[in-house]
Amino acid sequence: MTLPLKRSPREVARALQTWLARLPTDWPPADPETTHFCRQRLDAFADEAVLTAKLTSDLGNRPWRPLGHVLAVISENDHLGVVAALVAAALTGNRLTLKSRTGRAALESLRNALAWDETACRIADWDSRAQNDDAVLDGVDAIVAAGSASLIHHYRRTAVPSVRLIEYGPQMSAAYVAVWPDSATEQTACVDALVRDTTLFLQNVCSSPQFVLVPDKAIARALFSALAARLSTLPPLPEEIRLQQSIKAQELRMLARLEKAGEADELAIDTDTGWAVAYAPADSSLWMPRGFRLVIGNVGNIDTLRKNFPPLQTLGIWPSPENFPEEEMALHCCRLGRMHERPATAPHDGQLELAQWVRFVSCAPS
């Protein structure tokens, strides 16, 4: 007899707890701070009350049924996102095919803890560049595509109209340092918060700040100096990215000399870690692929900023997001240092939106 796919919040919470207890301490495979952060978030999520509240918040009392077979292709830079896909499938009773390259063994362990077999949850790897789309999409009722713009566009082209597309494309987040603190203690706290939000996940997820707004050049210089002194202490970027960073830094320095623009201290890079910091006006080309881009401009001037940047997913503000019109500039505002910490029951723009995993139905009165 085939067991039902759907799991209750209690069953999912127990499965997560069992799975986390058996995992090696170095999972997910990342720098120590990211690994620690992910484990803390998952420990908090493995709670029946949290999962029950999530079901109630997302689905309410409306009748619904599963979509059927969901294909999830999620960037594994988002270590929490791939786990969230398994949890969402379990809570909604969907059959799941999940693509995984680096974390396959750990996800298979979670599947086992949920008492699922291969037919209920297939965790597989394939080469996306040469995949057989007909085979991959055979029998699929919905696709969760979370990653690059090219990934989103590929499944828009290949999926038939009856397949629901659940898209989490690349979005941009930012930080805003409204004031530079007077005390050294508060200055350190500000830099710590910015470094934490930027380096967690090695700046690879949508809630990572891609630029830092500062209201004037004085604050930009102070923040630049503080960040430049920290670059050598940050978790090293992968070797290929470190090389790209060095090449880009050389290009930008040459461009600045040719244009006779900028000053020598507008760009700093640590070649051992690969992290960089630069500051420039919003319309400048002085932008490293990874690191801290300090953009001189007032966050209150929404119209000017919109010309150069898209609407933001998350805006982390120092010292406080109070009295900020977040709906004008960002989907979510928070205190700097907490950009990756949205509550499970908050409206999401990136992961575990259970309403996307079901079809709401009408029930005729009896």
**343 inside domain:** no
Same domain, residue pair 181 and 160: no
- Give the CA angle between residues 238, 241, 245 to the nearest 5°: 135
- According to DSSP, the β-strands at 276-281 and 267-269 are antiparallel
Residue 301 has pLDDT above 60, yes or no: no
Same domain, residue pair 156 and 218: no
Interval 181-192 mean pLDDT: 97
Same domain, residue pair 90 and 121: yes
Q: What is the CATH number of the domain that holds 149?
A: 3.40.605.10
Non-local CB neighbours of 124 within 8 Å, separated by 6+ positions:
97, 98, 99, 100
What percentage of the chain reaches a pLDDT higher than 70?
A: 87
**78 inside domain:** yes
Q: What band does 321 get if pLDDT is binned at 50, 70 and 90?
A: confident
Q: Using H for helix, E for strand and C for coil, what is the string for the chain?
A: CCCCCCCCHHHHHHHHHHHHHHCCCCCCCCCHHHHHHHHHHHHHHCCHHHHHHHHHHHHCCCCEEECCEEEEEECCCCHHHHHHHHHHHHHHCCEEEEECCCCHHHHHHHHHHCCCCCCCEEEECCCHHHCCHHHHCCCCCEEEEECCHHHHHHHHHHCCCCCEEEEECCCCEEEEECCCCCCHHHHHHHHHHHHHHHHHHHHCCCCCEEEEEECCHHHHHHHHHHHHCCHHHCCCCCHHHHHHHHHHHHHHHHHHHHCCCCCHHHEEECCCCCCEEEEEECCCCCCCCCCEEEEECCCCCHHHHHCCCCCEEEEEEECCCCCCCHHHHEEEEEECCCCCCCCCCCCCCCCCCHHHHEEECCCCCC
Residue 71 has pLDDT above 80, yes or no: yes
**345 inside domain:** no
Same domain, residue pair 298 and 182: yes
Residue 349 has pLDDT above 70, yes or no: no
The answer to whether residues 331 and 313 touch, using CB atoms and an 8 Å cutoff, is: yes
pLDDT of residue 366: 47
Q: How many structural domains are present in the chain?
A: 2
Residue 81 has pLDDT above 80, yes or no: yes
Higher pLDDT, 286 or 181: 181
**341 inside domain:** no
Q: Which residues of 202-222 are buried (b: 16+ CB within 10 A; e: fewer)?
A: bbbbbbbbbbbbbbeeebbbb
Same domain, residue pair 214 and 153: no
pLDDT of residue 283: 67
The answer to whether residues 33 and 103 touch, using CB atoms and an 8 Å cutoff, is: no
Same domain, residue pair 125 and 185: no
* Residue among 315, 306, 325, 131 at smallest CA distance from 211: 315
Same domain, residue pair 119 and 258: no
Same domain, residue pair 139 and 226: no
Q: How confident is the model over 85-107, as pLDDT tens digits?
A: 999 999 999 999 999 877 888 99
103-112: long-range contacts, CB 8 A cutoff, minimum separation 24 = 103/27, 103/28, 103/29, 103/76, 103/79, 106/23, 106/27, 106/28, 107/82, 107/83, 109/19, 109/22, 109/23, 110/15, 110/16, 110/19, 110/83, 110/86, 111/86
Same domain, residue pair 264 and 193: yes
Cβ burial of 32 (10 Å; 0-12, 13-18, 19+) is exposed
The answer to whether residues 20 and 41 touch, using CB atoms and an 8 Å cutoff, is: no
**177 inside domain:** yes
pLDDT of residue 264: 44
**90 inside domain:** yes
Same domain, residue pair 209 and 315: yes
pLDDT of residue 128: 77
Same domain, residue pair 248 and 287: yes
Provide the mean pLDDT of the chain: 87
Task: Tell me the residue type at 340.
Answer: H
Residue 2 has pLDDT above 50, yes or no: no
**240 inside domain:** yes
**Structural domain of 218:** 173-335
